[in-house]
Structure 1
Amino acid sequence: MSDLFSEEEMKVRYILPGVRGRIDLPVYNAPVSPKEVMLEAIREKNPKYMPNYRYYQNFCPKIFPDIEARGFNLDGQPVARHPEGFNDMFGIKWNFVEVVGGAMVEPGHPLLDDMNEWEKKISWPDPSKWDWEGQRKISESFIHENDLLLCPTIMNGYFERLISMMDFENAAVALIDDEQKNAVHAFLDRLADLYIRIIDLYRKYFPEVAGFTIHDDWGSQRAPFFSLETVEEMLVPHMRKVADHLHKCGLIYDMHCCGKVEKLLPAMIEIGVDSWSGQPMNDKVALYHAYGDKILIGIETPVISENMGNDEVDAIAKKYVDEFFVPGKPGMIGFSSEIKNQRFFESVYRYSREKYLGIE
């Protein structure tokens, strides 16, 4: 591929359909695929054009009971939601609540009141007994629709898993109760081993997988659920165990973590998380400038309205590229960006390519 920019690159190869209020995203005739540009951004810190969080292809197969329990399968089948309830892989019942668009465990009936009970009360799943071959046949076309970075989600992470088993208050207390801490560590260590087994089964039956999104929300609208010190002591060692395995296998560790968790970003970096988009209540600009050389951060763009003029769109795009598309410190377009004008995608691609090639 020539180092010279060509207008041939601006041809649209295909369109990624918009989801959840987002407009369609064009994929241009670029020198590397969206998957490759994400890998460049994470591994080499110098992608050939601006990455976008939507370049991850979320893959959530129903074979994983937690996916169906949460009403979130993305696997080539119709989405299955269960207001009447569905059990996750530990046999805990989740009810899908239509009005909020998500599922939750009915509170007030925790499986555990104290983590010291876990060895007696928890029945561990055997993911090798799931119908992986059947799921492969069902999802064959889904995973080959495009050249995005195929990234399954492991739901209910670590703290979320504790919440599902103990309810929120008990789970939060368990992280700081000296009489429960050893039990929490023992449980989370075994949980990490279970996740590694699941990852290896994905690798066997879906070798196209290039990374995993681990789902673990750590904050509310206003603040984290716990201190950085608590995360470093109680969660980081077990999450790093999974991250080390992913990296040993050449896979990416993307983290889904909602809430105002900016104070906890050093823990994500210590774990070895490769990318995080997060929610816009976090000061992504400040986080990018502090940590953008260590983790790929999704940074929300300014609001780009449908009726905004081309010159204004181009100026915003150029400013965005100049600030966040930096060799050794790339950012990516955040998933929550309010972009209603496709001119912005075109301009960001053009400006980032020109910047990469050193074209003034």
Structure 2
Amino acid sequence: MLTAKENFLKCLRGETPEWVPIYSMGMMFDGDNPPPDMLVEPLIISEHRVRGGGPDVWGVEYVPTESTSGALIPANDKFILDDITKWRDVIKAPDLSGVDWEKMCREDIERRKLDRSKTTVCMNLHMGYFQTLMSFMGFTNGLCAMYEEPEEVKALFEYLCDFYCTVAEKYVDHCKPDVWTMMDDTAAWANPFISPAMYREFLIPLYIRQAKFGRDRGLPISMHNCGKCEGFLDDLVKIGVTMWDPAQTCNDLVGIKKKYGNKLVIAGGWDAQGRILQDDVTYEEIYESVKKQMDLLAPGGGYCFLGGFLANKGDENVVKKNAMLYKAYNALCRNYY
């Protein structure tokens, strides 16, 4: 029998796995077993997340949110850039001379206590260019900048990409990841924040540069994009993306699976909404919600389960519901194929 890591990677290669894999992003898993996958990010970029908040590499202040178990968001009263034409005066990449990349990578891996024979290492650099612009300026000013000063926004994005690609060059071959991961949340539940034309104009050239590190090493490439982002998938598949998460149910997931087959792995396809959110939800109801989505998306492969409940840290109901959710997944996944 394959390990969870081997089974997951088999799915990402476009093959039918032995059972329905799970993609956990290292956050939710059976405490008795190692996580099937883990995000690894260079500490020079991700230190604010390790600390649980504070300024990021660009000086944006991040704060934890109680209702999402401590997930970090930019402080909404401390945006650092008011005028996109002045970005060169404000946004300064840190000096990378003297960084011990091998040591940083070793410590990043050791901190997560990974057994690489059992856990898939997914290397990520940052949370996305679109998201970073919004963290600098806020959504109103950030979106206006894209319309009013597109060349300045592109120049800023290229500057950010130069920095991230430099970090990748120094770090990736020490890390030796199993999966190359990219992220950028460019959509809300009902609609994307920008048009497909703007997506291609502003963001795809950056993703191409970043994806090259995975392509050159023969790695599967994953893309994290929440919300209704189905209109962007053609462009992502063209640049080599082989897995998309969290594949929320506001998208036409059945149509997407029919269109791409196992060429694009759907990781997700389950959302905590409606009756499932209630505190008195039963195991049987959660089980049926997972089974319904597996039956829609898992036949023939090309699917990984991804899901979970978020609430205040220590919320006993959420702990209970997550336990039921993963019990349901484990009951269904092993004998699916």
TM-score computed with the length of structure 1 as normaliser: 0.71
More helix by share: 2
Q: Distance in 2 between matches of 1:119 and 1:341?
A: 47
Distance apart, 1:164 and its partner CA: 1.8
What residue number does 2:325 align with? 340
- Residue number in structure 2 paired with 1:267: 235
**1:289–1:62 distance in 2 versus 1, CA, 3 Å:** same
Q: Does 1:155 align with 2:126?
A: yes
Alpha-carbon distance in 1 for matches of 2:153, 2:8: 35
Assess if the C-alpha contact under 8 Å between 2:63 and 2:75 holds in 1. Answer: yes
Which ranges of structure 2 fall in alignment gaps of 5 or more residues? 25-34, 310-321
Kept after mapping to 1: 8 A contact 2:60/2:79: no
CA 1:274 to 1:280, structure 2 compared with 1: closer, same or farther past 3 Å? same
Tell me the distance in 2 between the aligned counterparts of 1:288 and 1:336.
22
Contact 1:300 1:336 in 2 (8 A): no
Shift of residue 150 of structure 1? 0.7
1:170 to 136, 141, 158: 141
| 1:58 pairs with one of 38, 41, 48 | 38
The Cα shift of 1:326 comes to 4.4
Give the counterpart of 2:165 among 191, 196, 209: 196
Question: In structure 1, what is the equivalent of residue 303 of structure 2?
Answer: 331
Whose Rg is larger? 1
Distance 1:342 1:120, change over 3 A: closer
User: In 2, distance between residues paired with 1:201 and 1:296?
Assistant: 29
Instruction: State the Cα distance separating 1:240 from its structure 2 match.
Output: 1.5
SS of corresponding position for 1:124 = coil
Q: What amino acid sits opposite 1:50 in the alignment?
A: V
Cα-to-partner distance string for 1:96-130 (whole Å, 9 max, x where unaligned): 34455333333355433343333343211244644
Task: Name the count of aligned residue pairs.
Answer: 303
Q: Distance between the aligned counterparts of 1:302 and 1:210, measured in 2?
A: 27
Aligned to 1:245: 213
**Structure with bigger RCO (C-alpha 8 Å, 6+ apart):** 2
Q: Return the match for 1:308 from 271, 274, 284.
A: 284
2:11 is aligned to 41
Deviation at 1:35, TM superposition (A): 2.5
Secondary structure of 2:284 counterpart: coil
In 2 relative to 1, CA 332–194 (structure 1 residues): closer, same or farther, beyond 3 Å? same
Q: Which residue is 1:287 aligned to? A: 256
Q: 1:94 to 1:130 in 2, by over 3 A?
A: farther
Deviations 1:240-292 (A, max 9, x none): 11112221122332222222323333333234322122234434333322334
In the alignment, the residues of structure 2 paired with residue 341 and residue 165 of structure 1 have an alpha-carbon distance, to the nearest angstrom, of: 37
Residues 218 and 258, structure 1, Cα contact 8 Å, conserved in 2: yes
- Taking the aligned partners of 2:133 and 2:191, their CA distance within structure 1 comes to 19
Query: Distance between the aligned counterparts of 1:107 and 1:344, measured in 2?
Result: 37
Q: Could you say what the CA RMSD is over the residues aligned between the two structures, in angstroms?
A: 3.4
Gapped runs of 5+ residues in structure 1? 1-29, 74-79, 353-360
Greater mean deviation of Cα atoms: 264-273 or 164-173:
264-273
Distance, in Å, in 2 between the alignment partners of 1:153 and 1:142 is 18
- Matched AA of 1:349: R
**1:15 alignment partner in structure 2:** none
Using structure 2 for the length normalisation, give the TM-score: 0.75
Name the counterpart of 2:151.
Answer: 182
Q: Are 1:88 and 2:56 an aligned pair?
A: yes
